Amino acid sequence: MSKNFIATWPEIGISVECMPNEDGSNKWIYDYYLSQMPIRFVQLHAMCTGGVMYTWCQMKDELPMKGDNEVVGTRIDQAALGTGHLSYNIPNGLAGGKNGHIAFNWGPAYEKMPGYFSFKVVERDIPKLIQAGECVKEAIWRTKKVIHCELRVKED
């Protein structure tokens, strides 16, 4: 059974707990990212997609290849609040090699783009995720304050 992880935005004092999808979908991607933690990056925010925070970051090891693993997809505009995206190695794609892509859906998304989600924020932390999303959006669009995010495996 996979452990949960904690996402922390230190500059705004917010942390949320994240868990693998309950149905086990895309767990092979989730487990890869767990093996790479701690991961630290500058948090970005989508300009036209809606309530989505994301980043591109350098990983320690090559991203996993799809191989025989199943990828369960959901359109971004239909993804549930609090779901999260972790990329795998897609040749000729935006993520590949050691270039990881991490995203949090914190509010309504408008883009009808396909996506695949491998984690979700635990229900009790959804209000904190929304607050973090608003702070990051304000920083990107108005104040230009740099906000980092740190992902670490939750200790028992």
Q: Hey, which residues does 150 pair with through a beta bridge?
A: 8, 40
How many Å apart are CA 120 and CA 106, to the nearest integer?
10
Q: Record the pTM.
A: 0.94
Torsion angles phi and psi, residue 104, rounded to 5: -120, 125
Per-residue pLDDT tens over the stretch 6-35: 999 999 999 999 999 999 999 999 999 999
Ordered by where they begin, the domains of the chain are: 5-120+136-153 (2.40.100.20)
Torsion angles phi and psi, residue 128, rounded to 5: -70, -35
Taken as a whole, the chain contains a residue count of 156
3-state DSSP call for residue 96? strand
Per-residue pLDDT tens over the stretch 72-93: 999 999 999 999 999 999 877 7
CA atoms 53, 55, 61, 63: torsion sign: positive
In the chain, % helix, strand, coil (3-state, to 5) comes to: 25, 40, 40
pLDDT score of 47: 77
